[in-house]
Amino acid sequence: MKKISHLFTFLLLYFLFHSCIKKEETEPLNQNEIIPIQVTQHSGKTFSTGNKLSKASVYPGGGVMIQAFYWDVPSGGTWWDTVAEKIPSWQQAGIESIWLPPATKGQNGAYSMGYDPTDYFDFGNYNQNGSVETRFGSKTELVTLITTAHNYGIQVFADIVLNHNSGGQSEYNYFTQSNTWTDFSQIASGKFKRSQYDFHPNDLHSNDSGSFGGFPDLCHDKTYVQDWLWNRSDGVGKYYRDVMKFDGWRFDYVKGFEPWVVKEWNSHIGGFSVGEYWDSNVNTLEWWANSANSSVFDFACYYKMHDAFDGNNLSLLKDDMMWKRNPFKAVTFVSNHDTNIIYNKMLAYAYILTHEGYPTIFYRDYEEWLDKNKMNNLIWIHNYKATGTTTILYADNDEYIARRNGYNGNPGLIVYLNNSNNWLERWVPTNWYSTQIKDFTGNSNWYPTTQSGGWVKIQAPPKSYTIWSVNQ
Ligand code: ZN
Ligand code: ZN
Ligand code: ZN
């Protein structure tokens, strides 16, 4: 009898002790450190590529773009084939669009990366500037690539260089009183021939907002130039859209001309549009995007990520960026063919693939430099969980937590970035109540259940990240 009562007392004490411990553990201890910042205000609708020619994303979180080239990809006319072979695996991974380099013949012919355009209608099908094929291949190979992409539901965006031309013949120029390389009357396609009257300075004016590297600077005010770029049914824009079947446009060096040029192109041609306005000033990016009726690359986000991740100051992620001003007109990226300064790349990809805007993945990051399984996991999370507006929950030097608030029944997510050398954990307020959640990256094996008020404790490993959502 005595033994039994001792056992009873022991069990009672054991139970009381442990329920005490448990109560302490489930109390959100650092609640007062959390001051949520609502970053975006909108209905929460999915990112959309916008206008009449664009296809809405099939994913609740919107699409992911891949930049399907880098500077000096192998020459020899094999690149279109290389990209075409990647299409099935990219579609499998959840990529919805590809951005190709300028596809027509440049001054450097078979060695050109395409940013020195001579003939807008020579897709590697005319013997010109020393070769028939472009660096990337033949017109037939390009058409096969685009057809393959479409068969897999992937959109194809063309790189459009409108600021300057290169590879013309020398002519005496009445406006400069000297010889200039502005005679494009001999181009092989015979379409959109140009002369000194189509470049700056000319009889209309002396310059536009910028020129590039001394190349002849195209004048878009000329009716003749406008006709060939977007008015004529056999002009550049409509040929790219209707014959080549491009779905959208990445406009090169848009600092070099006024935003109405892209606006005019978009109103006549349609399709997805993004401009390379290389500037970290958010006001300028927003001004350009609104004036051009186009998305713009989020260089503000790019430079903030560099300072935040490489400078171990994640609080900078609270600063202004284009995607915060207008997520539907921001294309986010971690590196591209011109610039590659972010060292802490996986944190940066975890950031852009969980936040708003249209994220772009750089070919070499995906295919060569980073862990493809981790990238595919982030793309999956983006496509299926990155929904709704954004709330920043916490940020300090080495720690950043944000919440996507979900949309239309999709639960959204909470992303936890840890740039310290230790495991970190923190209580956070969720939109989920008495609900089991899990980390969809597999970096944490916790399966915590949120409290009735929505609070839950999450963790993240050193120099890594976790991304939490409802366990379903
Ligand atoms: Zn002009
Ligand atoms: Zn210009
Ligand atoms: Zn750096």
Q: What is the DSSP string of 349-374?
A: HHHHTTSSSEEEEEHHIIIIIS-HHH
Reduced to 3 states, what is the DSSP secondary structure of residue 120?
Answer: coil
Residues facing residue 400 across a β-bridge: 395, 417
What pLDDT does residue 29 have? Answer: 64
Measured between alpha carbons, how far apart are the two ends of the chain, in Å? 50
Assigned CATH for 47-297: 3.20.20.80
Which one of the ligands is nearest to 257 CA? Answer: 2
With 0-12 CB in 10 A as exposed, 13-18 as middle and 19+ as buried, what is 318?
Answer: middle
Cα 304 to middle of ligand 3, angstroms = 11
Q: pLDDT, tens digit, for every residue of 265-309? A: 999 999 999 999 999 999 999 999 999 999 999 999 999 999 999
Cα 122 to middle of ligand 1, angstroms = 25
What pLDDT does residue 260 have? Answer: 98
Round to whole Å and give the CA distance between 172 and 178: 6
CA 410 from centroid of its chain's CA atoms? 22
Checking if the pLDDT of 27 tops 50, the result is yes
What pLDDT does residue 13 have? Answer: 47
% pLDDT > 90, the chain: 88
- Compare 54 and 247 and report the one with higher pLDDT: 247
Q: pLDDT, tens digit, for every residue of 108-148? A: 999 999 999 999 999 999 999 999 999 999 999 999 999 99
Which one of the ligands is nearest to 211 CA? Answer: 2
- Compare 405 and 48 and report the one with higher pLDDT: 405
Cα 257 to middle of ligand 1, angstroms = 8
Cα 254 to middle of ligand 1, angstroms = 14
Q: What is the mean pLDDT of residues 172-196?
A: 98
The dihedrals phi and psi of 201, each to the nearest 5 degrees, come to -80, 155
Cα 400 to middle of ligand 2, angstroms = 41
What pLDDT does residue 34 have? Answer: 87
Which pairing describes strands 413-418 and 464-470: parallel, antiparallel, or unpaired?
Answer: antiparallel
Q: Where are the domains of the chain?
A: 47-297
Cα 217 to middle of ligand 2, angstroms = 5
Q: pLDDT, tens digit, for every residue of 334-373? A: 999 999 999 999 999 999 999 999 999 999 999 999 999 9
Our separate counts of H helices and E strands in the chain read 12, 20
Mean pLDDT taken over the chain: 93
Cα 296 to middle of ligand 3, angstroms = 23
Cα 423 to middle of ligand 2, angstroms = 51
Q: What is the mean pLDDT of residues 397-419?
A: 97
Which one of the ligands is nearest to 210 CA? Answer: 2
Which one of the ligands is nearest to 307 CA? Answer: 3
pTM of the model: 0.92
Q: pLDDT, tens digit, for every residue of 233-277? A: 999 999 999 999 999 999 999 999 999 999 999 999 999 999 999
Cα 56 to middle of ligand 1, angstroms = 36
Checking if the pLDDT of 50 tops 80, the result is no
Q: In angstroms, what CA-CA distances link 73 with 113, 190, 240, 392?
A: 8, 29, 23, 39
Helical residues (DSSP H) of 293-401, grouped into ranges: 299-305, 322-325, 345-352, 363-364, 372-385
